[in-house]
């Protein structure tokens, strides 16, 4: 049976104060990775949060990624966060990441 966390922490990697809070989270709290600025490309965002995703997987913390089936499948995310304003789900494939394998 899948347990859905009752508490969620919204983690923006571009806000430095979130790092201290993230390290104190238990595995009973889920993490939603998001960015509220569109200045950085989507692929750069996922490469930025990769160490934190690895940390979540190591600690068995459930996490949700924004709007990309490819990255959610790659990192085995608990779910996908779709922005209500954009209502867009990214189906694109990052060929650079595939070629590195």
Domain count, the chain: 1
pLDDT tens, position by position, 78-101: 988 776 665 555 555 455 554 554
- Let me know if residue 72 belongs to a domain: yes
Distance (Å) of CA 74 to CA 14, 18, 86, 93, 97: 22, 24, 23, 11, 10
> Measured in Å, how far apart are the chain's first and last C-alpha atoms?
33
Short-list 42, 66, 65, CA closest to 53: 65
In this model, does residue 73 exceed pLDDT 80? yes
- Let me know if residue 5 belongs to a domain: no
The pLDDT assigned to 54 comes to: 92
Cα dihedral 36/89/21/55 (nearest 10): -140
- Let me know if residue 24 belongs to a domain: yes
The pLDDT assigned to 62 comes to: 92
**Angle, vertex CA 46, rays to CA 45 and CA 48, nearest 5:** 65
- Let me know if residue 6 belongs to a domain: no
- Let me know if residue 4 belongs to a domain: no
Q: Which residue has the higher pLDDT, 96 or 46?
A: 46
- Let me know if residue 25 belongs to a domain: yes
Question: What token pair was written down for 76?
Answer: 């085995």
pLDDT tens, position by position, 13-22: 888 888 888 8
The whole domain housing 96 covers 11-33+42-100
Q: Which residue has the higher pLDDT, 42 or 9?
A: 9
The pLDDT assigned to 39 comes to: 59
- Let me know if residue 2 belongs to a domain: no
- Let me know if residue 29 belongs to a domain: yes
The pLDDT assigned to 96 comes to: 53
Q: Which residue has the higher pLDDT, 66 or 36?
A: 66
């Amino acid at each position: 049976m899948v347990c859905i966390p009752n508490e969620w922490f919204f983690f923006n990697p571009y806000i430095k104060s979130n790092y201290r809070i993230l390290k104190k989270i238990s595995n009973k709290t889920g993490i939603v990775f998001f960015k509220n600025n569109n200045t950085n490309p989507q692929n750069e965002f996922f490469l930025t949060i990769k160490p934190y995703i690895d940390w979540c997987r190591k600690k068995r913390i459930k996490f949700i990624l924004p709007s990309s089936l490819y990255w959610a499948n790659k990192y085995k995310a608990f779910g996908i966060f779709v922005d209500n304003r954009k209502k867009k789900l990214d189906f694109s494939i990052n060929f650079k990441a595939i070629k590195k394998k």
